[in-house]
Amino acid sequence: MNSGKKKITQILLTITLLSASFASAKRQPEAEWTVVTYIQADNSLAPFALKNIQTMQQAGLKNKINILVHWNMPENKKIVRYLVTKNALIEDKDIKVKTYEDHEKSLVDTMKWAATNYPAKKYMLNFWNHGSGIIDRVNYLKGRSQLRTHWLETPGLEQESAFRGILYSDTNHTYLDNQQLARSLEAITLTLGKKIDVIGMDACFMAMLEIGYQIKDYAKVLVASQNSEPGRGWNYAEFLKNLSKEPHLFNAQKLGKHIVNAYQKLYTGDVNFYTQSAINLRALDSIKENINQLVACLEQCKNLNEKKIRKTVQTAGNITLKFHMHDFVDLHSFYTALLKATTKRSLNDTSGQRATTGYTKALQSLRTTLNEGLTTIEQAVYTSVAAPTYSRARGISIYLPRKKIHHSYPKTMFAQESLWLHFLETFFASQHSVTSE
């Protein structure tokens, strides 16, 4: 038996042992929580899918919560939906893979299935896959590249070959781009008749302001990582165990905090690059308004002393905390760095001459805006954790390319509804150097 067939046999055997009951699930009474994990395992993460499901089973689940899995199983060339219980995986639906080459349709149908058969007062939707933040990459759709396994446990994604979006399928060379993400969540909220309580991203680089802004009208809390994630993913056993004990006491904020704390417990002392945060999506409009005010202050400074303020912004960019995807930086760190770069010492030009009164006042307005922004960012993050290497991470990243702006970025809601793209074009990357890939 070759290694490929042996691997398939082992997986099938494990599933058979786990699935003590394959009876068709019936519509359940309304639960406190329904947690849906959408596993797109048609890629290099496939070996981790079953392991994560097994940890879900360790939680000692109670009847007042439903743990559901939509699992793309590339080895079996099918998709299966399960109700996860302590003693079994109860198969609810078996779907041919070709039925759901369209990730947007698949995602919406999955949540319709969940809401119809496993209704709940509160819902969590968790994306399980590779993820690369706010930028969408087109070469993957053409089959020109694939995600590599060196992603799984260690950093190493080169900036120019990084993949963007989420839910990558290596067989079909498809993924869910950021515009499809927003559309699918809008359709889901119409199905539910309310916002999703928690959106989880068990994927890399998704705790971004732009991602949160893209989905803020459709969910309450986003739980995600600013940096790479280890292939082992989340600590499902820990946070589901806590949720199952007293589900009626958990709102979106509390569940988000428990997920983050469980993640830290799993990786403390073991991984030196982990980050995770729970973000209040309702607070992102306030961050956007502060950023718009910040850009206006920088424009005023530029009109008074362009050379000086350009140098100040570049200095701040150089010392800002960056992640494995270097174009993604910690927003709180950038504000802090810019505040540091506008100290009294910075009011003098290179010859030591005192800055003009107008420029001094403009810088003071800038500093006031930065301090207000830091408070706003801190209030928007319910909780965040990070390995000591990334101790400056405060839970929300933002796109800060130093050379070229990716062609997909202007399509994002945040780029269209804020002044951040104007800021990037003015201080970091020329509008004429927008990269095509």
Q: Based on C-alpha coordinates, what's the Rg of the chain?
A: 23
Cα–Cα distance between 318 and 67 in angstroms, integer? 44
Question: Do 175 and 165 meet the contact criterion of CB atoms below 8 Å apart?
Answer: yes
Overall average pLDDT of the 253-267 stretch: 98
CA-CA distances (angstroms) from residue 412 to 101, 144, 208, 215, 404?
Answer: 23, 24, 12, 11, 16
Cα–Cα distance between 174 and 71 in angstroms, integer? 16
- Pick from 156, 162, 158: which is nearest to 135 by CA? 162
Instruction: Work out the percent of the chain whose per-residue pLDDT is above 90.
Output: 58
Question: Do 365 and 359 meet the contact criterion of CB atoms below 8 Å apart?
Answer: no
Place of tokens 């540091």: 340
- Determine how many CB atoms are found less than 10 A away from the CB of residue 192: 20
Place of tokens 């990459």: 137
Question: Do 79 and 70 meet the contact criterion of CB atoms below 8 Å apart?
Answer: yes
pTM of the complete model:
0.85
What does the block give as tokens for 226? 């600013």
Class of domain 3-283: alpha beta
Q: What residue type is assigned to position 73 of the chain?
A: M
Cα–Cα distance between 363 and 283 in angstroms, integer? 26
The residue ranking higher by pLDDT, 428 or 187, is 187
247 burial class (0-12, 13-18, 19+ CB within 10 angstroms)?
buried
- 93 phi-psi bin (left φ>0, alpha ψ -120 to 50, beta other): beta
What pLDDT sits at residue 355? 58
* Statement: residue 147 has pLDDT above 90: no
Domain boundaries, the chain: 3-283, 286-380+399-433
Cα–Cα distance between 100 and 81 in angstroms, integer? 13
Beta strands in 208-322 (DSSP E): 219-224, 275-280
Q: How confident is the model over 207-251, as pLDDT tens digits?
A: 999 999 999 999 999 999 999 998 889 999 999 999 999 999 999
Q: How confident is the model over 54-82, as pLDDT tens digits?
A: 899 988 776 689 999 998 877 667 788 99
Q: How sure is the predictor about 348, in pLDDT bands with cuts at 50, 70 and 90?
A: low
